[in-house]
Amino acid sequence: MQMGSLAGLVELILEIMIFYYVVKFLAKLFMPLIVQKVVRKASEKFQENQNYNNQNNQGEVIINKRSDKPRETNKVGEYVDFEEIE
């Protein structure tokens, strides 16, 4: 089993820190571009969907007929009147 030296440990920590800051710099550089592209695509999809729905449903009238029966309420059980026992 090999023993690591203090210099090797310091070098490893330094490499990890350099890698972290490089990734952080690249994220700051490229993330706004990526987010802008994603938002633009989502906006285009939304616009296409809105235009598609407006074209198909224009002039269409839908009438929902209500039933004559009253709506049934949810009854859990019967009401029981308990008497107090002395």
Q: Domain ranges for the chain, please list them.
A: 29-56
64: left (phi over 0), alpha (psi -120 to 50) or beta: beta
Helices (H), 1-86: 6-57
What's the mean pLDDT when you consider all of the chain? 83
pLDDT band at 64 (very low <50, low <70, confident <90, very high): confident
User: Which pLDDT score, from 0 to 100, does residue 26 have?
Assistant: 96
Residues 19-53 pLDDT 10s: 999 999 999 999 999 999 999 999 999 888 887 76
pTM: 0.45
* Tokens, residue 32: 């706004």
Gap between the Cα atoms of 68 and 70, Å rounded: 6
